[in-house]
Chains A and B, each alone.
Chain A
């Protein structure tokens, strides 16, 4: 699955790094490092990170039916 973080929006809350620690990592105090081609088995965790990001900086495809859903899945 592909994902992208809008680093102009990212404020370094690090919630994604707690929720999907194998996809998002903190480099030092403030910079975010992430795997833009996350493994499929990380779907649930990535979905939680997308939903919990305080500034909605994370976009990922193929999350339908996962935790929190995507904007498409919301109804």
Chain B
């Protein structure tokens, strides 16, 4: 092949800061299959939306029979049974229903709404902690510590254990980045941290089994609905899933959000005057700069025909959500960041049965963080544009976001 394949260009770090021209190119071939064992890449809005609702699409790794692991879709080495993100119905449905019964309506309609005050407190503490700095790193100082603290409160990790908990989570999250220079070392550290975290959570689950409290771990082990309770192993893999899936993604949503607002300062100004605008800003961010750029872990359990192309059973399929979100056949003026947009049915949280479980919490975290940052950072400016990015092409976002300010209000 004389030209570099689209797949290589997507994974190429040089394109991380602005992958959108590549996605535009991708959409010209709605079903792209470049290499014999490579994935079938789907990039237009309506195809992604339709296939994410197609029961022939599977998230179960064991259904992949064509080709090996590609760079983006290797199995998670957690030592735990697969969590519901990597399962198909009916196992997926059972575990997700139990998890949902302790998270949202109909059983727990107030769980997330009741956390609003806590989220405000946590973000206030983090912003207070910036002190009188004139330059801050939004990632390390705010966007990164925020979601992990929130997930601790949600699961029921005691406050005194939060620092220990965070010390395990950091290397695990760092290990998600396929950075080849430090791969072996960081994988070892991540593996060790997973083990420690697993043992810690196991102890906490035991405690909550004996003495339930008002937290998600207690609910998961005591769930008494028609689906029964989760086993300890299921609780552990669900807790790790919520932790990992809810962490990096939220960091990137907040960081991409601040980056975008600094590039479009008229909206930062409007947000300062009207914190309620954060709702619309976050929805548009999920379309314009989605934290999960593509879903690389699907396959099909039967031959599929899409636009005359046959995708053989067992092939890997990538759904490039970020390309679908900018499909001009779906959105007017798709490359424009426009929080006033009325038609905003984005793919930022996926779609179908695996549609993001934590979406309501992620929305709330990002809304609160961005509204408070807009209100309290005095005259914020980007120190460098584009900022340095993380290596990861799937969970895409800046590694640092250095911002200079005149002060913190």
Contacts and interface: CB of A to CB of B under 8 A. Distances in A.
B106 A26 contact: yes
Interface in B280-298: 280, 283
Contact of B104 (A14, A47, A56, A71): A14
Contacts of A59: none
Contacts of A24: 105
Interface in B311-333: none
B359 A15 contact: yes
Interface string A1-29: 00000000000011101111100111111
Contacts of A29: 97, 106
A67 interface: yes
Nearest to A15: B360
Interface centre among B112, B113, B363 (most CB of A within 10 A): B113
A11 B182 CA distance: 44
A55 B49 CA distance: 13
B266 to A, nearest CB: 11
Nearest to B347: A54
A18 to B, nearest CB: 4
A17 B278 CA distance: 19
B276 A67 contact: yes
Interface in B62-106: 97, 104-106
A6 to B, nearest CB: 14
A18 B360 contact: yes
Interface residues of A, number: 30
B283 to A, nearest CB: 6
Contact of B355 (A13, A18, A27, A74): A13
Interface stretch (B10-18, B240-248, B337-345, B391-399): B337-345
A18 B104 contact: yes
Given A15-B360, A56-B342, A21 B105 contact: yes
B134 interface: no
Interface in A42-58: 44-45, 47-48, 51-52, 54-56
Contacts of B280: 51, 68-69, 74
B283 A17 contact: no
A68 B274 CA distance: 9
A52 B279 contact: yes
B46 interface: no
B109 interface: yes
Contacts of B106: 17, 25-29
Interface in B256-282: 274-280
A26 B105 contact: yes
A56 B279 contact: no
Nearest to A54: B345
B110 interface: yes
Given A52-B283, A69-B276, A69-B277, A74 B340 contact: yes
A71 B342 CA distance: 8
Interface in B348-391: 355, 359-360, 363
Contact of A47 (B276, B340, B342, B346): B276
A17 B343 contact: no
Contact of A25 (B97, B109, B346): B109
Interface in B207-241: none
B276 A52 contact: no
A21 B110 contact: yes
B276 A18 contact: no
Contact of B113 (A13, A18, A26, A68): A18
B113 A19 contact: yes
A25 B113 CA distance: 13
Given A27-B106, A47-B276, A18 B345 contact: no
A41 B263 CA distance: 36
B279 A18 contact: no
A21 B283 contact: no
Given A18-B113, A69-B276, 6 more contacts: A13-B355, A27-B106, A29-B106, A51-B279, A54-B346, A56-B345
Which A-B residue pairs are the 7 nearest by beta carbons? A67-B276, A18-B360, A21-B109, A68-B279, A26-B105, A17-B105, A51-B279
26 contacts: A14-B105, A15-B363, A17-B106, A17-B109, A18-B105, A18-B112, A18-B113, A19-B113, A19-B360, A21-B105, A24-B105, A26-B106, A26-B109, A44-B276, A48-B276, A51-B280, A52-B279, A55-B345, A56-B345, A67-B275, A67-B278, A68-B276, A68-B279, A68-B280, A69-B280, A75-B340
